Every structure is written in C-alpha cells, then in structure tokens.
Amino acid sequence: MSSQNPFLLSLGWSEFFQSSFEKCQLDQPATAFAAARVVGQERGHYRVMVKPELILEAVVTGKLHKIAKAGDAAGFPAVGDWVAITLSAGNRKAEIHHVLTRKSLVQRKRVGNKHQNQIIASNVDFLMIVTSLNEDFDIERLGRYVDLGQESGVTPVLLLTKTDLCLDSEAYITKINSKFPNVKAFAISDRDPGSLEALQVFFSRGMASVLVGSSGVGKSTLCNFLISGDSQKTSEVSTDSRGKHTTTARSLLLTRWGGLVIDTPGMQEIAVVGEVQAESFPDIEDLILKCKFTNCRHGADPGCAVVRALKDGSLENERWQAYLAR
Ligand SMILES: Nc1nc2c(ncn2[C@@H]2O[C@H](COP(=O)(O)OP(=O)(O)OP(=O)(O)O)[C@@H](O)[C@H]2O)c(=O)[nH]1
Ligand SMILES: [Mg+2]
Ligand SMILES: [Zn+2]
C-alpha cells in the first residue's frame, strides 16, 4: 500500500491515514489489509470504495463489532472513514477490521441516549450548513450548527439556497454576516449556475464536505449539481408517500471538481442539540432484526432482542420509549 497510490490520494488519503494503516498492519502481520473509504452507511451495512468504480458491500468483523459496542457509536465506521479491510465472498464483499484514526468527526447527541452519539460524517474539512431563505430560516439553529462545526474541528460554511424564491436575499446575507462574522456565507440557487460555481474552492480535489440542514432545503439538489449526472445519486433517494424525494442514507460522492461531498438526510434524522426533533433509530432497527420472530411485539415474545437489550442495559429504556413515541 503506497501513499503515492493516485486513486487513494484522489480520495483524500494522506500520510496521516497511511501511518494509522501501517500500525494496524504491524499489529496483525498475518492478515493482509487493504485501505478503503466508507462511502455509504445504512443500518449497520456499509459500502466501501476500494478502487475506482469498485464499491463493495461491507460489514464489520465480529471483533470490531464487540469493541465498538463496548464504547460509543464513534467506535463504528462512519461515512468518510478510512478503514482497513479484507475481501470475502470471492472478492465481492468486504470486512472492516479497523477504523483508521480520524482527522475530524462531526457528531451529534442522540435524543434519549446520552451514551450514543450520532455520527454525521468523519474526515471532512467543511460543514456545509444548508438553509433555504424562507420558513426554514432560523438564525439560532444556524448558530448551533456553526458551534457544532467548530467543536468538531471542521470549518462551518453557510449556504443560503433558493435565492430565486426570495426577494431580499441581501437582507439575509447582511444579518448572517453580522451574526457570524467569521463564517463564509453564500447565497445560491440551482437556477443560477454562476452562484454554484463560486463553491468550487470547497469541493476541489483533496477537500471533503458534508451537507447538513433541514429536509427540503436543497442539499441533494446541490449534490446533483456537484456530481453532475452521476447515476449514484438516484440510488440514494427514495420517494416517500407524498411523492417527495428525500434522502434516506448518507453517502459520499465525488464532485465534478475532484473533491468529495457527503449528502445527509434532513432534520427528521439529524437532531440539533437542544432541540427535540424526530430522529431515526438505526440501533433499534438493528436490534429488531435480531428478534427471533419477525412479528415480535417486543414484550412477552420469546427470543426478543429488545427485551434482552433492555435487561442487560445496552439499550436504555429512555431511548426505547423515544422510539415508541416517534
Ligand atoms: N426554487 C428552487 N427550488 C429548489 C432549489 N434547490 C432545491 N430546490 C427544490 O427543493 C426541493 C427539495 O430539494 P432537495 O434537494 O431534495 O432537498 P434536501 O435538502 O435534499 O431534502 P432531504 O433529502 O429531505 O433532507 C426540490 O423540489 C428541489 O427542486 C433552488 O435553488 N430554487
Ligand atoms: Mg436530500
Ligand atoms: Zn422483539
């Protein structure tokens, strides 16, 4: 594994990750690891990029699962992570043995679970805080996102979308500049490609960004422009009952300028600290999959993984109640 591997370099590999990788390899000389980057994650299933155009389904090894489980959510791989893998199933699947040391980590507190934070993205340079210039605009919430970026070691950037629908974008910009003098802010619209070209510096080769913000503000629309017609996009969106395309999983994509971007689901999933928002429960959904019966009612049914987890304390009752009340 050479640090000069052009493919790895184009994906953001550096000496920093190389040395973490070498350490894993030294600790386990009998296993030949390859480096890969986590580009997708949904409910305990991962997708890792191993080579250009080669994305494999991946799971964590039992050993890593055990170690991660004993700590907090940060022990599990997240989108953006570099990982040490081996190939399995005739090179069609990957097993993740180690998460390489992270350069940065954006994470959130979970509603109803003090011990399990929610990882938004790892190893990114910019936290792109997306808000549309309408009902969604909430300067206090933007402030919490800015704080989150700063606490995570990631530079926050404000993207004000849908300027085409707003008569006084200038007023918003003035307000934002006075409230956040040290944060760069851009007014953009997907109807105005020129406004998007201004973002090139953040999405160039060697840079990685994560898009966060409420549902419907235009994160995926921006992503679409950034990846310009990459077919991966469509696999990441599902149509909900109202016929709305909404992002359901995090994914890392290569931009037209050679940088990387991570799209995330909107606020239904990402709860801002201090705000009680509906959120997803991937840990509980994973548990439910382990119940003996598919129609388990998570009460008196035998072999219930939820009841077991509540008993052994790995699932807090508070979090289970939050799930039930969602
Ligand atoms: N007028 C206008 N509409 C836009 C703009 N950007 C996005 N939209 C529209 O806003 C709607 C929501 O956009 P998405 O990109 O799916 O929003 P999202 O932030 O990814 O939403 P979630 O995946 O649910 O978090 C779509 O109908 C877009 O066409 C814009 O600049 N101007
Ligand atoms: Mg989306
Ligand atoms: Zn059950």
- CATH number of the domain where residue 308 is located: 1.10.40.50
Rounded Cα gap, residues 120 and 100, in angstroms? 17
pLDDT for the residue 307: 93
By C-alpha distance, which of 165, 187, 166, 167 is closest to 176?
Answer: 187
153 and 246 share one domain: yes
Cβ–ligand 1 distance for 221 under 6 Å, the answer yes
92 and 208 share one domain: no
Indicate the pTM of the whole model: 0.78
Q: Residue 35: inside a domain, yes or no? A: yes
The pocket of ion ligand 2, defined by CB under 5 A, consists of 219-220, 247
pLDDT at 71 over 80: no
146 and 238 share one domain: yes
Q: What's the gap in Å between 112 CA and the centre of ligand 3?
A: 20
Rounded Cα gap, residues 162 and 189, in angstroms? 5
State pLDDT tens for residues 75-109. 899 999 999 999 987 888 999 999 999 999 998 76
113 and 256 share one domain: yes
Domain boundary among 75, 103, 131: 103
Q: What's the gap in Å between 238 CA and the centre of ligand 2?
A: 9
Cβ–ligand 1 distance for 190 under 6 Å, the answer yes
Q: What's the gap in Å between 272 CA and the centre of ligand 1?
A: 20
State pLDDT tens for residues 238-255. 444 344 456 666 788 889
12 and 85 share one domain: yes
Report the C-alpha dihedral over residues 256, 221, 263, 123, rounded to 10 degrees: 40
Is 280 or 148 the better-scoring residue by pLDDT? 148
185 and 75 share one domain: no
Rounded Cα gap, residues 178 and 120, in angstroms? 28
Q: Residue 268: inside a domain, yes or no? A: no
Range(s) of the domain holding residue 27: 6-103
pLDDT for the residue 118: 76
113 and 163 share one domain: yes
Domain boundary among 103, 126, 153: 103
Tally the domains of the chain: 3
Cβ–ligand 1 distance for 132 under 6 Å, the answer no
63 and 76 share one domain: yes
pLDDT at 117 over 80: no
Report the C-alpha dihedral over residues 116, 121, 126, 127, rounded to 10 degrees: -50
Cβ–ligand 1 distance for 219 under 6 Å, the answer yes
Question: Could you tell me if residue 95 is left (phi over 0), alpha (psi between -120 and 50 degrees) or otherwise beta?
Answer: beta
Q: Residue 179: inside a domain, yes or no? A: yes
Cβ–ligand 1 distance for 268 under 6 Å, the answer no
116 and 255 share one domain: yes
Cβ–ligand 1 distance for 233 under 6 Å, the answer no
